[in-house]
Structure 1
Amino acid sequence: MIFCSLYSGSSGNSIFVASENSKILIDAGLPGKSIDAALKEIGEDPKELDAIFVTHEHSDHIKGIGVMSRKYDIPIYANNKTWLNMSNSIGKIKDHNIKVMDKDVVTIRDMDVINYPIPHDAASPVGYSVHSSGKKVSVATDLGCFTEDIKKNIEDSDVILLESNHDIEMLKFGPYPYNLKRRILSSIGHLSNDDCGSAIVDMMNHKYKRIILGHLSHTNNYPDLAYQTVINVLRENNIELQKDIALTMAHRSRPSSYIKI
Protein backbone atom coordinates (compact mmCIF):
# COMPACT_ATOMS: atom_id res chain seq x y z
CA MET A 1 0.00 0.00 0.00
CA ILE A 2 0.91 3.65 -0.38
CA PHE A 3 -0.17 6.40 2.03
CA CYS A 4 0.51 10.09 1.50
CA SER A 5 -0.89 13.21 3.12
CA LEU A 6 -1.28 15.70 0.28
CA TYR A 7 -2.39 18.53 2.59
CA SER A 8 -3.24 18.56 6.27
CA GLY A 9 -4.34 21.48 8.41
CA SER A 10 -7.09 23.92 9.19
CA SER A 11 -6.77 25.40 5.68
CA GLY A 12 -7.43 22.14 3.81
CA ASN A 13 -7.06 18.36 3.97
CA SER A 14 -6.59 15.55 1.48
CA ILE A 15 -5.00 12.09 1.79
CA PHE A 16 -3.99 9.72 -1.01
CA VAL A 17 -4.19 5.96 -0.42
CA ALA A 18 -3.33 3.26 -2.95
CA SER A 19 -3.27 -0.52 -3.02
CA GLU A 20 -2.02 -2.72 -5.84
CA ASN A 21 -5.19 -2.18 -7.87
CA SER A 22 -7.00 0.82 -6.34
CA LYS A 23 -6.41 4.52 -5.71
CA ILE A 24 -8.55 6.82 -3.58
CA LEU A 25 -8.60 10.18 -1.87
CA ILE A 26 -9.89 10.72 1.63
CA ASP A 27 -11.27 14.29 1.47
CA ALA A 28 -10.37 16.97 -1.05
CA GLY A 29 -10.50 20.19 0.94
CA LEU A 30 -8.55 22.47 -1.39
CA PRO A 31 -9.25 23.72 -4.93
CA GLY A 32 -9.12 21.05 -7.58
CA LYS A 33 -5.99 22.48 -9.20
CA SER A 34 -4.18 22.19 -5.84
CA ILE A 35 -5.20 18.53 -5.50
CA ASP A 36 -4.09 17.92 -9.11
CA ALA A 37 -0.71 19.53 -8.43
CA ALA A 38 -0.12 17.52 -5.27
CA LEU A 39 -0.95 14.22 -6.96
CA LYS A 40 1.33 14.97 -9.89
CA GLU A 41 4.10 15.95 -7.45
CA ILE A 42 4.05 12.41 -5.99
CA GLY A 43 3.87 10.83 -9.44
CA GLU A 44 0.17 9.99 -9.48
CA ASP A 45 -2.35 10.64 -12.25
CA PRO A 46 -5.69 12.11 -11.04
CA LYS A 47 -7.39 10.27 -13.89
CA GLU A 48 -6.62 6.98 -12.16
CA LEU A 49 -8.52 7.78 -8.96
CA ASP A 50 -11.28 5.29 -8.22
CA ALA A 51 -13.12 7.26 -5.53
CA ILE A 52 -13.15 10.15 -3.09
CA PHE A 53 -14.29 9.38 0.46
CA VAL A 54 -15.59 12.26 2.57
CA THR A 55 -15.17 12.48 6.35
CA HIS A 56 -17.61 15.38 6.86
CA GLU A 57 -19.04 18.46 5.20
CA HIS A 58 -16.79 21.24 6.52
CA SER A 59 -15.19 23.26 3.74
CA ASP A 60 -11.59 22.30 4.57
CA HIS A 61 -12.56 18.73 3.67
CA ILE A 62 -14.85 19.16 0.64
CA LYS A 63 -13.76 22.29 -1.25
CA GLY A 64 -12.35 20.41 -4.24
CA ILE A 65 -14.45 17.25 -4.39
CA GLY A 66 -17.03 18.59 -6.85
CA VAL A 67 -14.40 19.84 -9.28
CA MET A 68 -12.42 16.60 -9.06
CA SER A 69 -15.52 14.46 -9.60
CA ARG A 70 -16.69 16.45 -12.62
CA LYS A 71 -13.24 16.72 -14.22
CA TYR A 72 -12.27 13.06 -13.86
CA ASP A 73 -15.67 11.34 -13.46
CA ILE A 74 -14.83 10.18 -9.91
CA PRO A 75 -17.45 8.66 -7.55
CA ILE A 76 -17.88 10.45 -4.21
CA TYR A 77 -18.65 8.36 -1.13
CA ALA A 78 -20.28 9.89 1.95
CA ASN A 79 -23.05 8.90 4.34
CA ASN A 80 -26.57 10.22 3.88
CA LYS A 81 -26.43 13.06 6.43
CA THR A 82 -23.11 14.30 5.03
CA TRP A 83 -24.53 14.28 1.50
CA LEU A 84 -27.55 16.28 2.64
CA ASN A 85 -25.34 18.88 4.28
CA MET A 86 -22.72 19.24 1.54
CA SER A 87 -24.74 18.88 -1.68
CA ASN A 88 -25.37 22.63 -1.99
CA SER A 89 -21.65 23.39 -1.59
CA ILE A 90 -20.05 21.12 -4.19
CA GLY A 91 -21.98 21.85 -7.37
CA LYS A 92 -23.75 19.44 -9.70
CA ILE A 93 -22.55 15.83 -9.43
CA LYS A 94 -23.49 13.18 -11.99
CA ASP A 95 -25.98 10.71 -10.57
CA HIS A 96 -23.69 7.72 -11.07
CA ASN A 97 -21.01 9.42 -8.96
CA ILE A 98 -23.26 10.05 -5.95
CA LYS A 99 -22.46 7.13 -3.65
CA VAL A 100 -24.37 7.14 -0.36
CA MET A 101 -22.65 4.89 2.16
CA ASP A 102 -25.17 2.80 4.06
CA LYS A 103 -22.73 0.18 5.33
CA ASP A 104 -19.59 0.24 7.45
CA VAL A 105 -17.45 -1.16 4.62
CA VAL A 106 -17.09 -0.14 0.98
CA THR A 107 -15.02 -2.39 -1.29
CA ILE A 108 -13.06 -0.83 -4.15
CA ARG A 109 -11.45 -3.71 -6.06
CA ASP A 110 -8.77 -5.05 -3.65
CA MET A 111 -9.37 -2.34 -1.03
CA ASP A 112 -11.83 -2.37 1.88
CA VAL A 113 -12.64 1.12 3.17
CA ILE A 114 -14.14 1.05 6.67
CA ASN A 115 -15.90 4.08 8.12
CA TYR A 116 -16.56 4.65 11.81
CA PRO A 117 -18.16 7.54 13.74
CA ILE A 118 -16.04 10.30 15.24
CA PRO A 119 -17.03 13.03 17.74
CA HIS A 120 -17.06 16.34 15.87
CA ASP A 121 -19.57 19.15 15.32
CA ALA A 122 -20.72 18.04 11.89
CA ALA A 123 -23.81 16.21 10.65
CA SER A 124 -22.45 12.66 10.76
CA PRO A 125 -18.63 12.73 10.71
CA VAL A 126 -16.56 9.61 10.17
CA GLY A 127 -12.97 8.44 10.20
CA TYR A 128 -11.61 5.84 7.77
CA SER A 129 -9.47 2.73 7.91
CA VAL A 130 -8.33 1.13 4.68
CA HIS A 131 -7.38 -2.56 4.39
CA SER A 132 -5.59 -4.30 1.54
CA SER A 133 -3.38 -7.40 1.31
CA GLY A 134 -3.00 -7.68 5.07
CA LYS A 135 -2.01 -4.02 5.53
CA LYS A 136 -4.02 -1.25 7.15
CA VAL A 137 -3.89 2.55 7.22
CA SER A 138 -6.17 4.92 9.13
CA VAL A 139 -7.17 8.58 9.19
CA ALA A 140 -8.54 10.02 12.44
CA THR A 141 -8.77 13.81 12.52
CA ASP A 142 -11.38 16.37 13.66
CA LEU A 143 -11.85 14.58 16.96
CA GLY A 144 -13.27 16.24 20.03
CA CYS A 145 -12.06 13.28 22.05
CA PHE A 146 -10.44 9.90 21.49
CA THR A 147 -13.14 7.28 21.99
CA GLU A 148 -13.00 3.53 22.49
CA ASP A 149 -14.69 3.09 19.12
CA ILE A 150 -11.94 5.05 17.37
CA LYS A 151 -9.29 3.11 19.28
CA LYS A 152 -10.86 -0.22 18.28
CA ASN A 153 -10.89 0.77 14.63
CA ILE A 154 -7.34 2.12 14.29
CA GLU A 155 -5.08 0.57 16.94
CA ASP A 156 -3.93 -2.32 14.72
CA SER A 157 -3.04 -0.04 11.79
CA ASP A 158 0.39 0.10 10.19
CA VAL A 159 0.04 3.84 9.53
CA ILE A 160 -2.19 6.35 11.35
CA LEU A 161 -2.76 10.02 10.56
CA LEU A 162 -3.88 11.38 13.91
CA GLU A 163 -5.01 14.88 14.80
CA SER A 164 -2.73 17.08 16.89
CA ASN A 165 -4.68 20.27 16.36
CA HIS A 166 -3.77 22.79 19.04
CA ASP A 167 -1.72 23.70 22.06
CA ILE A 168 -4.20 24.32 24.87
CA GLU A 169 -2.41 27.37 26.28
CA MET A 170 -1.99 28.97 22.85
CA LEU A 171 -5.70 28.46 22.22
CA LYS A 172 -6.80 29.83 25.59
CA PHE A 173 -4.74 33.01 25.27
CA GLY A 174 -4.98 33.39 21.50
CA PRO A 175 -7.14 35.64 19.30
CA TYR A 176 -10.16 33.37 18.81
CA PRO A 177 -13.49 34.53 20.28
CA TYR A 178 -14.67 32.77 23.43
CA ASN A 179 -17.39 30.71 21.72
CA LEU A 180 -14.94 29.34 19.15
CA LYS A 181 -12.44 28.44 21.89
CA ARG A 182 -15.19 26.56 23.73
CA ARG A 183 -16.13 24.71 20.56
CA ILE A 184 -12.54 23.60 19.84
CA LEU A 185 -11.99 22.48 23.44
CA SER A 186 -15.30 20.61 23.63
CA SER A 187 -15.88 16.87 23.20
CA ILE A 188 -16.99 17.55 19.60
CA GLY A 189 -14.15 19.92 18.73
CA HIS A 190 -10.50 19.10 18.04
CA LEU A 191 -7.80 16.99 19.69
CA SER A 192 -5.01 18.89 21.47
CA ASN A 193 -1.32 17.99 21.33
CA ASP A 194 -1.47 16.53 24.84
CA ASP A 195 -4.58 14.50 24.08
CA CYS A 196 -2.98 13.25 20.87
CA GLY A 197 -0.02 11.97 22.87
CA SER A 198 -2.33 10.27 25.36
CA ALA A 199 -4.30 8.66 22.52
CA ILE A 200 -1.12 7.17 21.07
CA VAL A 201 -0.17 5.78 24.49
CA ASP A 202 -3.65 4.30 24.85
CA MET A 203 -3.44 2.33 21.61
CA MET A 204 0.11 0.99 21.88
CA ASN A 205 -0.20 -2.80 21.63
CA HIS A 206 3.32 -4.04 20.91
CA LYS A 207 2.84 -3.50 17.17
CA TYR A 208 5.29 -1.06 15.59
CA LYS A 209 3.38 1.93 14.28
CA ARG A 210 3.97 4.86 11.99
CA ILE A 211 2.09 7.82 13.42
CA ILE A 212 1.67 11.04 11.42
CA LEU A 213 0.59 14.13 13.34
CA GLY A 214 -1.85 16.17 11.27
CA HIS A 215 -4.59 18.78 11.04
CA LEU A 216 -2.56 21.37 12.98
CA SER A 217 -4.13 24.75 13.63
CA HIS A 218 -2.35 27.59 11.87
CA THR A 219 -3.21 29.97 14.73
CA ASN A 220 -2.96 27.81 17.85
CA ASN A 221 -0.06 25.46 17.15
CA TYR A 222 3.43 25.05 15.70
CA PRO A 223 4.78 21.85 14.13
CA ASP A 224 7.78 21.75 16.48
CA LEU A 225 5.56 22.32 19.50
CA ALA A 226 3.11 19.58 18.51
CA TYR A 227 5.94 17.14 17.84
CA GLN A 228 7.77 17.84 21.08
CA THR A 229 4.61 17.76 23.20
CA VAL A 230 3.67 14.34 21.85
CA ILE A 231 7.23 13.04 22.30
CA ASN A 232 7.20 14.19 25.93
CA VAL A 233 3.98 12.27 26.59
CA LEU A 234 5.42 9.15 24.94
CA ARG A 235 8.64 9.33 26.95
CA GLU A 236 6.72 9.75 30.18
CA ASN A 237 5.08 6.42 29.34
CA ASN A 238 8.31 4.64 28.33
CA ILE A 239 7.51 4.54 24.61
CA GLU A 240 10.68 4.84 22.55
CA LEU A 241 10.96 6.53 19.17
CA GLN A 242 12.17 4.26 16.36
CA LYS A 243 11.97 1.19 18.60
CA ASP A 244 8.23 1.29 19.34
CA ILE A 245 6.98 3.98 17.02
CA ALA A 246 7.90 6.25 14.11
CA LEU A 247 6.57 9.79 14.50
CA THR A 248 6.38 12.30 11.64
CA MET A 249 4.45 15.45 10.74
CA ALA A 250 1.97 16.06 7.91
CA HIS A 251 2.73 19.30 6.11
CA ARG A 252 0.05 21.96 5.72
CA SER A 253 0.72 23.08 2.16
CA ARG A 254 2.47 20.28 0.29
CA PRO A 255 2.63 16.47 0.08
CA SER A 256 4.40 14.79 2.98
CA SER A 257 4.74 11.51 4.85
CA TYR A 258 4.84 9.43 1.65
CA ILE A 259 4.92 5.88 2.99
CA LYS A 260 5.15 2.55 1.16
CA ILE A 261 4.03 -0.41 3.25
Structure 2
Amino acid sequence: MLKFISFGSGSSGNCYYLGTATDGLIIDIGIGIRTLKKYCREYGVQLNSVKRVLITHDHADHIKSVGALSHDMNLPVYATHKVHEGIDNNYCVARKVSVDHKKEIELDTEVQLGDFKVRPFAVPHDASENVGYEIEVEGIIFVMLTDVGHITDEIKHVIGRANYLVIEANHDVEMLKNGPYPKYLQDRILSESGHLSNTSCGEALVDNMTEELKHVWLCHLSEENNHPELARKTVEQILRSHGVIPGKDVELEVLKRKTPTGVYELT
Protein backbone atom coordinates (compact mmCIF):
# COMPACT_ATOMS: atom_id res chain seq x y z
CA MET A 1 0.00 0.00 0.00
CA LEU A 2 1.20 3.49 -0.88
CA LYS A 3 0.97 6.29 1.67
CA PHE A 4 0.98 10.04 1.02
CA ILE A 5 1.38 12.98 3.41
CA SER A 6 1.69 16.68 2.69
CA PHE A 7 3.73 18.33 5.45
CA GLY A 8 3.28 21.81 4.00
CA SER A 9 2.23 23.34 0.70
CA GLY A 10 2.77 26.98 -0.23
CA SER A 11 5.33 29.75 -0.13
CA SER A 12 5.95 29.10 3.58
CA GLY A 13 7.47 25.74 2.70
CA ASN A 14 6.68 22.66 0.62
CA CYS A 15 7.35 19.07 1.63
CA TYR A 16 5.67 15.79 0.71
CA TYR A 17 6.13 12.15 1.70
CA LEU A 18 5.38 9.10 -0.39
CA GLY A 19 6.02 5.69 1.12
CA THR A 20 5.52 1.96 0.81
CA ALA A 21 5.94 -0.62 3.56
CA THR A 22 9.67 -0.81 2.84
CA ASP A 23 10.68 2.40 1.08
CA GLY A 24 10.05 6.14 1.17
CA LEU A 25 10.60 9.39 -0.72
CA ILE A 26 10.61 13.02 0.36
CA ILE A 27 9.58 15.36 -2.46
CA ASP A 28 10.93 18.87 -1.82
CA ILE A 29 12.09 20.01 1.60
CA GLY A 30 11.22 23.64 2.22
CA ILE A 31 10.37 23.14 5.90
CA GLY A 32 12.76 22.82 8.84
CA ILE A 33 14.32 19.49 9.77
CA ARG A 34 13.00 19.64 13.33
CA THR A 35 9.50 20.29 12.01
CA LEU A 36 9.77 17.36 9.61
CA LYS A 37 10.94 15.00 12.37
CA LYS A 38 8.15 16.18 14.67
CA TYR A 39 5.51 15.54 12.03
CA CYS A 40 6.92 12.12 11.22
CA ARG A 41 6.74 11.12 14.87
CA GLU A 42 3.15 12.35 15.11
CA TYR A 43 2.07 10.39 12.04
CA GLY A 44 4.03 7.22 12.66
CA VAL A 45 6.40 7.66 9.72
CA GLN A 46 9.81 6.08 10.29
CA LEU A 47 12.20 8.61 8.80
CA ASN A 48 14.85 5.92 8.46
CA SER A 49 12.55 4.29 5.87
CA VAL A 50 13.09 7.33 3.61
CA LYS A 51 15.82 6.41 1.14
CA ARG A 52 16.03 9.47 -1.10
CA VAL A 53 14.89 13.04 -1.80
CA LEU A 54 13.40 14.37 -5.05
CA ILE A 55 13.50 18.09 -5.83
CA THR A 56 11.18 19.86 -8.26
CA HIS A 57 13.03 23.18 -8.56
CA ASP A 58 15.45 25.54 -6.84
CA HIS A 59 13.18 28.11 -5.16
CA ALA A 60 13.75 28.45 -1.43
CA ASP A 61 10.30 27.29 -0.36
CA HIS A 62 11.10 23.91 -1.95
CA ILE A 63 14.78 23.43 -1.03
CA LYS A 64 15.58 25.40 2.12
CA SER A 65 16.57 22.34 4.16
CA VAL A 66 17.71 19.96 1.43
CA GLY A 67 21.41 20.01 2.29
CA ALA A 68 20.76 19.70 6.01
CA LEU A 69 18.38 16.75 5.55
CA SER A 70 20.72 15.03 3.11
CA HIS A 71 23.66 15.40 5.49
CA ASP A 72 21.72 14.52 8.64
CA MET A 73 20.21 11.33 7.21
CA ASN A 74 22.84 10.45 4.60
CA LEU A 75 20.26 10.73 1.81
CA PRO A 76 20.89 11.07 -1.93
CA VAL A 77 19.20 14.04 -3.57
CA TYR A 78 17.77 13.53 -7.05
CA ALA A 79 17.33 16.52 -9.35
CA THR A 80 18.23 17.61 -12.86
CA HIS A 81 21.65 19.12 -13.51
CA LYS A 82 20.19 22.63 -13.77
CA VAL A 83 18.23 22.25 -10.53
CA HIS A 84 21.35 21.05 -8.70
CA GLU A 85 23.19 24.12 -10.01
CA GLY A 86 20.34 26.30 -8.81
CA ILE A 87 20.49 24.76 -5.33
CA ASP A 88 24.25 25.44 -5.19
CA ASN A 89 23.67 29.09 -6.13
CA ASN A 90 20.73 29.74 -3.80
CA TYR A 91 21.86 31.71 -0.75
CA CYS A 92 18.76 30.57 1.17
CA VAL A 93 20.20 27.05 1.33
CA ALA A 94 22.60 27.38 4.26
CA ARG A 95 23.97 23.87 3.92
CA LYS A 96 24.55 22.68 0.39
CA VAL A 97 24.13 19.17 -0.91
CA SER A 98 27.50 17.41 -0.80
CA VAL A 99 28.97 16.08 -4.04
CA ASP A 100 28.56 12.44 -2.99
CA HIS A 101 24.85 12.98 -2.30
CA LYS A 102 24.07 14.65 -5.64
CA LYS A 103 22.28 12.36 -8.07
CA GLU A 104 21.32 13.68 -11.49
CA ILE A 105 18.15 12.69 -13.34
CA GLU A 106 17.10 13.65 -16.85
CA LEU A 107 13.82 14.97 -18.18
CA ASP A 108 11.54 12.32 -19.67
CA THR A 109 13.91 9.54 -18.61
CA GLU A 110 12.39 6.90 -16.35
CA VAL A 111 14.50 5.64 -13.47
CA GLN A 112 13.82 2.93 -10.90
CA LEU A 113 14.51 4.20 -7.38
CA GLY A 114 13.81 1.40 -4.94
CA ASP A 115 10.08 0.67 -5.02
CA PHE A 116 9.41 3.75 -7.15
CA LYS A 117 9.51 4.12 -10.92
CA VAL A 118 10.13 7.85 -11.37
CA ARG A 119 9.88 10.01 -14.48
CA PRO A 120 10.58 13.75 -14.29
CA PHE A 121 8.90 15.96 -16.88
CA ALA A 122 9.23 19.65 -17.71
CA VAL A 123 6.94 22.16 -15.98
CA PRO A 124 7.12 25.86 -17.00
CA HIS A 125 8.12 28.12 -14.10
CA ASP A 126 10.68 30.89 -13.57
CA ALA A 127 13.29 28.72 -11.88
CA SER A 128 16.60 27.35 -13.20
CA GLU A 129 14.48 24.40 -14.25
CA ASN A 130 11.25 22.97 -12.87
CA VAL A 131 10.01 19.42 -13.09
CA GLY A 132 6.93 17.48 -12.19
CA TYR A 133 7.14 13.85 -11.16
CA GLU A 134 5.19 10.89 -12.45
CA ILE A 135 5.76 8.13 -9.91
CA GLU A 136 4.53 4.58 -10.43
CA VAL A 137 4.32 2.02 -7.63
CA GLU A 138 2.57 -1.34 -7.98
CA GLY A 139 0.49 -0.08 -10.89
CA ILE A 140 -0.52 3.14 -9.12
CA ILE A 141 0.46 6.40 -10.83
CA PHE A 142 0.99 9.37 -8.52
CA VAL A 143 1.73 12.78 -10.06
CA MET A 144 3.27 15.83 -8.39
CA LEU A 145 2.60 19.01 -10.37
CA THR A 146 3.49 22.23 -8.56
CA ASP A 147 4.51 25.80 -9.56
CA VAL A 148 2.94 25.60 -13.00
CA GLY A 149 3.17 28.59 -15.33
CA HIS A 150 0.82 27.09 -17.90
CA ILE A 151 -0.49 23.74 -19.05
CA THR A 152 1.67 22.14 -21.74
CA ASP A 153 0.90 19.14 -23.95
CA GLU A 154 3.18 17.03 -21.76
CA ILE A 155 1.29 18.07 -18.63
CA LYS A 156 -2.01 17.24 -20.33
CA HIS A 157 -0.68 13.77 -21.10
CA VAL A 158 0.48 13.23 -17.52
CA ILE A 159 -2.86 14.34 -16.01
CA GLY A 160 -4.52 11.83 -18.30
CA ARG A 161 -2.41 9.02 -16.84
CA ALA A 162 -2.73 9.90 -13.16
CA ASN A 163 -4.58 7.92 -10.50
CA TYR A 164 -3.60 10.41 -7.79
CA LEU A 165 -2.71 14.01 -8.58
CA VAL A 166 -1.26 16.93 -6.63
CA ILE A 167 -1.78 20.04 -8.77
CA GLU A 168 -1.29 23.75 -8.19
CA ALA A 169 -4.24 26.10 -7.69
CA ASN A 170 -2.22 29.12 -6.64
CA HIS A 171 -4.48 32.15 -6.99
CA ASP A 172 -7.81 33.65 -7.87
CA VAL A 173 -7.15 36.06 -10.74
CA GLU A 174 -9.45 38.82 -9.46
CA MET A 175 -8.03 38.59 -5.92
CA LEU A 176 -4.54 38.88 -7.38
CA LYS A 177 -5.37 41.86 -9.60
CA ASN A 178 -7.14 43.70 -6.74
CA GLY A 179 -4.76 42.62 -4.01
CA PRO A 180 -1.62 44.04 -2.37
CA TYR A 181 0.96 42.77 -4.85
CA PRO A 182 2.74 45.37 -7.04
CA LYS A 183 2.12 45.24 -10.78
CA TYR A 184 5.44 43.59 -11.63
CA LEU A 185 4.73 40.74 -9.21
CA GLN A 186 1.18 40.31 -10.49
CA ASP A 187 2.58 40.13 -14.03
CA ARG A 188 5.13 37.51 -12.97
CA ILE A 189 2.46 35.31 -11.36
CA LEU A 190 0.11 35.65 -14.34
CA SER A 191 2.83 34.95 -16.89
CA GLU A 192 3.37 31.62 -18.64
CA SER A 193 6.29 30.97 -16.27
CA GLY A 194 4.39 31.98 -13.14
CA HIS A 195 1.67 30.12 -11.25
CA LEU A 196 -1.56 28.32 -12.12
CA SER A 197 -4.86 29.96 -11.20
CA ASN A 198 -7.84 28.17 -9.70
CA THR A 199 -9.73 28.43 -12.98
CA SER A 200 -6.84 27.19 -15.11
CA CYS A 201 -6.39 24.29 -12.71
CA GLY A 202 -10.06 23.30 -13.00
CA GLU A 203 -9.99 23.57 -16.77
CA ALA A 204 -6.84 21.44 -16.98
CA LEU A 205 -8.59 18.77 -14.96
CA VAL A 206 -11.83 18.59 -16.94
CA ASP A 207 -9.98 18.68 -20.26
CA ASN A 208 -7.54 15.87 -19.42
CA MET A 209 -8.60 13.71 -16.48
CA THR A 210 -9.91 10.19 -16.99
CA GLU A 211 -12.12 7.89 -14.94
CA GLU A 212 -8.89 6.42 -13.53
CA LEU A 213 -8.22 9.62 -11.55
CA LYS A 214 -9.30 8.88 -7.98
CA HIS A 215 -8.08 11.82 -5.91
CA VAL A 216 -6.95 15.40 -6.57
CA TRP A 217 -5.20 17.61 -4.05
CA LEU A 218 -4.94 21.35 -4.77
CA CYS A 219 -1.52 22.62 -3.71
CA HIS A 220 0.58 25.77 -3.31
CA LEU A 221 -2.29 28.18 -2.59
CA SER A 222 -1.34 31.83 -2.18
CA GLU A 223 -2.00 33.24 1.26
CA GLU A 224 -2.70 36.73 -0.11
CA ASN A 225 -4.45 35.92 -3.39
CA ASN A 226 -6.51 32.84 -2.66
CA HIS A 227 -8.53 31.05 -0.01
CA PRO A 228 -8.87 27.28 0.46
CA GLU A 229 -12.66 27.30 0.15
CA LEU A 230 -12.55 29.58 -2.88
CA ALA A 231 -10.03 27.33 -4.62
CA ARG A 232 -12.04 24.22 -3.90
CA LYS A 233 -15.36 25.78 -4.96
CA THR A 234 -13.92 27.21 -8.17
CA VAL A 235 -12.45 23.88 -9.24
CA GLU A 236 -15.57 22.00 -8.11
CA GLN A 237 -17.86 24.27 -10.13
CA ILE A 238 -15.80 23.70 -13.26
CA LEU A 239 -15.84 19.94 -12.70
CA ARG A 240 -19.61 19.91 -12.09
CA SER A 241 -20.25 21.99 -15.19
CA HIS A 242 -18.70 19.14 -17.17
CA GLY A 243 -20.59 16.41 -15.34
CA VAL A 244 -17.83 15.42 -12.91
CA ILE A 245 -19.08 15.23 -9.33
CA PRO A 246 -16.44 15.64 -6.58
CA GLY A 247 -17.02 13.13 -3.81
CA LYS A 248 -18.55 10.71 -6.28
CA ASP A 249 -16.46 10.64 -9.44
CA VAL A 250 -13.25 11.95 -7.88
CA GLU A 251 -12.11 13.13 -4.45
CA LEU A 252 -11.11 16.80 -4.30
CA GLU A 253 -9.21 18.35 -1.38
CA VAL A 254 -7.06 21.38 -0.62
CA LEU A 255 -3.63 20.96 0.97
CA LYS A 256 -2.91 23.20 3.94
CA ARG A 257 -0.10 25.70 3.78
CA LYS A 258 1.57 25.15 7.14
CA THR A 259 0.16 21.95 8.66
CA PRO A 260 0.18 18.27 7.65
CA THR A 261 -2.72 16.51 6.03
CA GLY A 262 -2.55 13.28 7.96
CA VAL A 263 -1.88 9.98 6.16
CA TYR A 264 -3.65 9.07 2.92
CA GLU A 265 -3.61 5.42 1.89
CA LEU A 266 -3.53 5.07 -1.88
CA THR A 267 -4.79 1.83 -3.36
TM-score bin (small chain): over 0.9
1:101 corresponds in structure 2 to: 105
Question: 1:163-178 maps to which residues of 2 (within 5 A)?
Answer: 163-178=168-183
Higher mean Cα deviation, 177-186 or 91-100? Answer: 91-100
1:111 maps onto 2:111 in alignment: no
1:225 maps onto 2:230 in alignment: yes
Query: Residues 114, 20 of structure 1: CA spacing in aligned structure 2 closer, same or farther, 3 A cutoff?
Result: farther
Runs of 4+ in 1 over 3 A off after TM superposition: none
Percent of counterpart pairs with the same letter?
36
Question: 1:155-234 maps to which residues of 2 (within 5 A)?
Answer: 155-234=160-239
Conserved 8 A contact 2:117-2:137: yes
Conserved 8 A contact 2:123-2:131: yes
Query: Residues 145, 102 of structure 1: CA spacing in aligned structure 2 closer, same or farther, 3 A cutoff?
Result: closer
RMSD: 1.4
2:5 corresponds in structure 1 to: 4
Conserved 8 A contact 1:8-1:214: yes
Q: Which amino acid in the other structure matches residue 245 of structure 2?
A: E
Kindly provide the CA deviation profile for residues 33-57 of structure 1, in whole angstroms up to 9, marking residues without a partner as x. 1222222222112222111100000
Question: 1:73-92 maps to which residues of 2 (within 5 A)?
Answer: 73-89=74-90, 90=93, 91-92=95-96
Higher mean Cα deviation, 90-99 or 78-87? Answer: 90-99
TM-score, structure 2 as length reference: 0.93
- Give the superposition deviation at 1:25: 0.7
Question: 1:138-153 maps to which residues of 2 (within 5 A)?
Answer: 138-153=143-158
Kindly provide the CA deviation profile for residues 197-225 of structure 1, in whole angstroms up to 9, marking residues without a partner as x. 10110122222420001100011011011
1:67 corresponds in structure 2 to: 68
State the distance in 1 between where 2:84 and 2:206 align. 35
- Give the superposition deviation at 1:257: 5.8
1:40 corresponds in structure 2 to: 41
Kindly provide the CA deviation profile for residues 4-34 of structure 1, in whole angstroms up to 9, marking residues without a partner as x. 1111112110110112432001100112112
State the distance in 1 between where 2:76 and 2:39 align. 20
1:249 maps onto 2:254 in alignment: yes
TM-score, structure 1 as length reference: 0.95
State the distance in 2 between where 1:141 and 1:149 align. 14
Secondary structure of residue in 1 paired with 2:142: strand
Higher mean Cα deviation, 114-123 or 146-155? Answer: 146-155
Q: Which amino acid in the other structure matches residue 243 of structure 1?
A: K
- Which consecutive unaligned segments of at least 5 residues does structure 1 have? none
Conserved 8 A contact 2:22-2:49: no
State the distance in 2 between where 1:65 and 1:77 align. 11
Conserved 8 A contact 1:6-1:39: no
State the distance in 2 between where 1:13 and 1:69 align. 16
Higher mean Cα deviation, 250-259 or 194-203? Answer: 250-259
Q: Which amino acid in the other structure matches residue 128 of structure 2?
A: A
Q: Which amino acid in the other structure matches residue 171 of structure 1?
A: L
Secondary structure of residue in 1 paired with 2:83: helix
Higher mean Cα deviation, 235-244 or 165-174? Answer: 235-244
Q: How many residues get paired?
A: 261
- Which consecutive unaligned segments of at least 5 residues does structure 2 have? none
